[in-house]
Amino acid sequence: MIRSALPALLLASVLPVYAQSPAEVPLIERAKIFGNPSKTGAKLSPDGKWLSWIAPRDGVLNLWVAPTSDLTQARPLTDERKRPLRNSFWAPDSSAVLFIQDKGGDENFLLYGVNLASGKQTNYTPFDKTRASVLHISSKVKDRILVGINNRDPKWHDVYSLELATGKLTLVRQNDGYGGFIADDQLQLRIAEQPRADGGTRYFRISGAQVERTPLLEVGLDDAQTTTPWGFTADGATLYWTDARQRNTAALIAQDVASGKTRVVAEDARADISGAITDKRTGQVLAYSVDYLKQEYVPLNDALRADLAFLRQQTQGQFSIGSRTEADDKWVVQVDPVTAPASTWLYDRPTKQLTRLYVSRPELDGAPLVAMHPHEIKARDGLTLVSYLSLPKAVDPDGSGKAGQPVPLVLFVHGGPWARDSYGYHSYHQWLANRGYAVLSVNYRGSTGFGKNFISAADLQWGRKMHDDLIDAVQWAVRQGVTSADKVAIMGGSYGGYATLAGLTFTPTTFACGVDIVGPSNLFTLLQTIPPYWEAGKQQFYKRMGDPTTEAGRALLKERSPLNYAADIQRPLLIGQGANDPRVNVRESEQIVQAMAARKIPVTYVEFPDEGHGFARPVNNIAFAAVTENFLAKCLGGRAEPIGGAVKASTAQVKHGAEFAPGLAEAIR
């Protein structure tokens, strides 16, 4: 077992002395942070005549639409009564708005559409135990789109052409073992992706109805997450890739389809190319984005260079470009100041005019939001860990990024683990900083966006070097005077939940307490219960985590599973779980709670019967936040808004240990 990596001299208590009293900083109500936004997700119709967005209707997030020229004519398109809608997109002919929705967090997403003229809502994929996906939407083919449906075989998505006006589904290709397909703008399948037994991937051309026998390209495990096709130009003559072969970070590559010749469009030694802005008519790349410490847009032509320069000059904060009309004359632009609520704007390109559409959370206007500070932290073996620190106003009133005195810290660990933390407004950072805590989010090894070597450095390192990175970041924070070593909590969801359990078992005296949200406790049972539609990526899981089909792999998974070390837990633990989670089965939380309860080790377990991998319904998010902030207040000494009626207003079921979370037993009586 790994013992605490913190030197003993760092374990002495250092009580915080504040530059100003925390009481002088207004407490932000948690409902203002975790409740419904007033508006979000604005999308322009392709013809530019309409604007859609997501906003509450009778307390539940629904789709709304209005003429772009007169937003006062807004009307709701949907009438969801329980589960919020979280995304939407337009039909290519601007006749309907489409969205996907599951039930209770089971992630069996079905595809729906609402006709703008009639208001009729259609379920395009009315199948049980099915997960639909959108494969391709083209501006060149207006009446149909390509979708993937796994109702025949849950492991593989067959490809269908969907006629939007009638809902007719026509089989394009039955999938006999391909992880995905790339289509061109004529909705012709052109590339098939096939998983390899070693965790790598083969890419094949599709000619007519036939998949060619010889791969167009194949990559091993190291390149599998950083080398992949993005899509074709409108004429189908050029295929864009991200490609990390013969390099570390993923470059943007253009390949001539006829000759096979490639050229580098963009690359950055710091980070992978993460996105592109393409010409609406030709599909050629006009600009690209790269996200190292912060996201940056890099233009490749003069017209877009002028637009990006204008937006940089006119916006206060980091901006991102959302939907664009087919004529490319209007853009939706999101602006994130971090220290103020995000706003969404309509940008008219010909006139260079910005018009504010809405502020997502106007109730946070004037609230004491704090800055986020990017840092490069060195791990013990020399890897650079891009990390983000937020400090409470009490010790950093001017937002300099320097703590006046040490304060308790919450190490907030992202999920994935093949994902990343990025710069920007972060609800948990703001909430926890307002309660008096420094908050640190670390892109530990395995996080994506920083090149293939950084991903591969995490292979077979769950609970080991990946955890060392988190410990190293805590040590950095102690050396910087941000916190003291005995006043650090660990918290996170999914892999972040695993990291919390690993922290309390493998390094049982390093953290003062932990909050685990939908985290796996047993890596072997986790891999046994992953969704069937993850079949294509299963070998990557095995090669990067541990192979349950081999004796050595099973031994490794057992060794890295916190469940097997539950007896070593010494610090308070709070667990939140969705009962319908298809990724991290509810048993992952239940079994560690049972193991701790059998040994009379305190643990509080809150389960939500209408949630899955995380909490989508605001009332449930607010409820768990209420329990968490009172739990952390006892552990770290920060502020907390009383639980009040938050838990009773939700579907939360406190399955164990209400007495260990301050105020919880009283709140559920």
Active site residues: 494, 581, 613
- Please answer whether residues 75 and 116 qualify as being in contact, where contact means their C-beta atoms are separated by less than 8 angstroms: no
Q: Three-state DSSP class for 72?
A: helix
How long is the chain? 669
The rounded distance, in Å, linking the Cα atoms of 580 and 103 is 9
Q: Counting Cβ atoms within 10 Å, is residue 277 exposed (0-12), middle (13-18) or buried (19+)?
A: buried
Q: Which amino acid, residue 444?
A: Y
Identify the residue whose tokens are 């990557």. Answer: 540
Q: Three-state DSSP class for 667?
A: helix
Residue 221: name the closest of 198, 238, 195 by CA.
198
Going 197 to 203 to 207 to 209, the CA torsion angle's sign is: positive
The rounded distance, in Å, linking the Cα atoms of 504 and 229 is 41
The rounded distance, in Å, linking the Cα atoms of 566 and 581 is 22
ω into 417 cis (within 30 of 0): yes
What would the two tokens of residue 17 be?
């002395």
- Please answer whether residues 607 and 655 qualify as being in contact, where contact means their C-beta atoms are separated by less than 8 angstroms: yes
Torsion, Cα of 332, 338, 339, 344 (10° steps): 10
- Please answer whether residues 102 and 109 qualify as being in contact, where contact means their C-beta atoms are separated by less than 8 angstroms: yes
Q: What are phi and psi of 615, to 5 degrees?
A: -115, 115
Residue 68: name the closest of 413, 335, 357 by CA.
357
- Please answer whether residues 358 and 343 qualify as being in contact, where contact means their C-beta atoms are separated by less than 8 angstroms: yes
Residue 209, CA distances (Å) to 104, 212, 236, 302, 340 in order: 38, 10, 17, 41, 53
Residue 346: name the closest of 43, 37, 64, 92 by CA.
43
DSSP β-ladder status, 189-195 and 180-183: antiparallel
Q: How many CB atoms lie within 10 A of CB 69?
A: 10
- Secondary structure tally for the chain: helices H, strands E: 12, 37
Q: What are phi and psi of 100, to 5 degrees?
A: -115, 150
Q: How many CB atoms lie within 10 A of CB 129?
A: 10
Alpha helices (runs of H) in 489-644, residue ranges in sequence order? 495-506, 523-528, 538-545, 551-559, 586-598, 618-636
The rounded distance, in Å, linking the Cα atoms of 667 and 669 is 6
